[in-house]
Amino acid sequence: MQIRFWGVRGSFPVSSPDAIRYGGNTPCLEVETATGVIVIDAGTGIRELGKSLLERSATHVDLLLSHAHWDHIQGFPHFAPLYRADFTLTVHALRHPGHSLSSILAGQQQEPFFPVGLDDLKARIEFVEHEDGDRFEIAGARILCRRLNHPGVTGGFRIESDGRTVSYICDTDLNSEHLLASELPARTDADRADWLLRLRQAACDLGHSADLVVCDTFFLPDDDDSTWGHSRPDDFLEFAAQGGVSRICLFHHRPGRSDDELDAIVDGCRHRVAGGVQVLGAREGMEIDLE
């Protein structure tokens, strides 16, 4: 498998001389297997990916959407293959009670927000809604989808192909005392505590023994936004050491962090990490070969 990073920022895209090396686009990853292409999330990074796919004459792609917060879908209308009649896109996401996957993506393309509606796109678009814990196969890879602790309905993914594993655990607070995920039957403190344990275990199911975990490290220890649903680097340093993870890639960078600040965060993690875990910082254009 080859992993390519097309967008690595959280919340909103940035354009700044201080954000050149890491890049300013919002989340989008490409996972290329021996038989196909899997895209994870449709932030603004998907625009450049779309151009690349057309240059490679791709005719079908599977898109895994972690959730519908705008930074993860805002690039979707600008994905060039959607304007080609010979292209098929299959979109996968966790089922969201009360909102179909198609209606979520159509919503941001309605007038007056965008001039081209979802139904006006030339490509064939298929929507597949999954339940927590579903396993399925796409592009020659085995996928596990699990629910994560983040406002709304948010999923993470474990992708296994050719004896290698990459896990995408983004937009979650691993160690939160708050139950942030919505639509869960938690009426008492005991219910909430149980759900927090279950959501933590879900993250472990996704990440254990992975060759690479792409992880949410939006916050630092001094950041005090406990209900936003994001993790800190040390959360995943501990997670990786305990779970037998080979490499972690710090991802979903806070938009205000400069290149130099992100360098310092990555270097600090490399000095603190235990268990022989390799620490990387996600940058636009970075490629990781898991062969």
77 in helix, strand or coil?
Answer: helix
6 in helix, strand or coil?
Answer: strand
Q: What is the pTM of this model?
A: 0.96
Tell me how far apart the alpha carbons of residues 68 and 186 are, in angstroms, rounded to a whole number: 22
Q: Which phi-psi region, left, alpha or beta, contains residue 165 (left: φ > 0; alpha: ψ -120 to 50)?
A: beta
The single residue listed with the structure tokens 């304007």 is 83
Which pLDDT score, from 0 to 100, does residue 98 have? 87
CATH code of the domain in which 165 resides = 3.60.15.10
Alpha helices in 111-246 (DSSP H): 189-207, 233-243
Structure tokens at 183: 């639509």
Q: Note whether 80 and 122 are within 8 A (CB).
A: no
**Domain extent at residue 10:** 2-289
| Number of domains the chain contains | 1
Low-confidence ranges of the chain (pLDDT < 50): none
DSSP string, 103-144: HHHHHTTSTTT-SS-GGG-SSEEEEEEE-TT-EEEETTEEEE
**Edge-to-edge strand ranges of the sheet holding 37-40:** 124-130, 88-94, 60-64, 37-40, 28-32, 2-7, 287-289
The single residue listed with the structure tokens 């890049």 is 23
Which pLDDT score, from 0 to 100, does residue 222 have? 86
User: Which residues on adjacent β-strands are paired with residue 32?
Assistant: 2, 37
